[in-house]
Amino acid sequence: MLRVVTFLFAFASVAFAQDYPAKPIIIVVPAAAGGPTDTLTRVLASSMGNAMKSQFVIENAGGAGGIIGINKAAKSRPDGYTLLLYHIGMSTAPALYRKLPYDTLADFDYIGQVADVPMTLVAKKATAAAAFPEFLAYIKANKDKVTYAQAGIGSASYLCGLLFMNTIGTDFTQVPYKGTGPAMNDLVGGQVDFMCDQTTNTVPQIKAGNIKVYGVATAARLPSLPDVPTLAEQGLRGFDLVVWNGLFAPRGTPKAALDKLNGALQAAVQDLAFKARLAELGAEPVPLAKATPESLRNLLKSEIDKWTPIIRKSGVYAD
């Protein structure tokens, strides 16, 4: 009897591996459409779709700093047809929420890291300050009036805001959105004053002259914005925040599916079109060695260990 069951299981796995994927694959993005994570996912989906000769569908589930979308993916059927693309926000939630509806390390299988996206400090076009020192003075002088847009507690834009506040020693009013896509619309419209956001969302607006940029939040200047000084150069010593992004699947996803998806991810990070599009957007695909399940698992673990004490010290809880 056991031999029959084993044979049937092996037969089913082989059949699954041959047929997979037999329908479009959903990638859940825990942020609103049009924002940096959505943009990155759409560029990745096109490249992985070519590699797997299959279709990917993006499902935006923004809000609560990404928790809603992460939980949706964690609870979806582990059949290879629902994935999750998210970032550093995966590693902040465990410290920010006393009661998370999922287990960050236990509820996911890993496909690999995707890309690193730098952040930029940007403001509405009408901002008078010509350069960062005046802008900093303006924030400090108007700290009860200036408004900072972010994508919810625990999001990348929230984290950058937290680091910026701690570094300049001044609080300011935060305005949460379901993602920095809609936040950018309000920044371009002048409804909010400033934001720290990923280049995949800011570079097109900076180049179009729709917003002002006062610095990049990386240790070195960016090839996409060579004339924009780093915040560190302008006195914010050690200010360095790059957003890592990873591709996940719900725990229990068939190995055959994970292997095919990882193969397509590895093809994507070497794909010239993928690289060129990310370069235009100021971002960088990870090297091949990082586009692996082990690398993403280790990164997530080390990032949780890094951000938990910082967040605990801030005393902020999201629930």
Catalog residues that contact ligand MLT under the rule CB under 6 A.
Answer: 31-32, 35-38, 89, 151, 155-157, 179-181
User: Based on CB atoms, which residue is closest to ligand MLT, 62 or 112?
Assistant: 62
Residue 31 CB, shortest distance to ligand MLT, in Å, is 3
Q: Cβ of residue 30: shortest distance to ligand MLT, in angstroms?
A: 8
Instruction: Provide, rounded to whole angstroms, the least separation between the CB of residue 128 and ligand MLT.
Output: 26
Task: Kindly state the smallest distance separating residue 32's Cβ from ligand MLT, in Å.
Answer: 6
Instruction: Return the amino acid letter for 166.
Output: N
Closer residue to ligand MLT in complex, CB, 90/257: 90
Burial letters 210-235, b for 16+ CB under 10 A, else e:
bbbbbbbbbeebbebbeebebbbbbe
Q: Which is nearer to ligand MLT, 202 or 292 (CB)?
A: 202
3-state secondary structure of 248: strand
56 and 88 Cβ atoms separated by less than 8 Å: no
Q: What is the DSSP letter of 287?
A: P
Judge contact between 256 and 16, C-beta under 8 A. Answer: yes
Indicate the residue among 178 and 260 with the shorter CB distance to ligand MLT: 178
Q: How far is the CB of 151 from ligand MLT (least distance, A)?
A: 3
* Residue (117 or 146) nearer to ligand MLT, CB: 117
* Extended strands (E) in 30-162: 56-60, 82-87, 108-124, 147-150
The Cα 300–Cα 246 span in angstroms is: 9
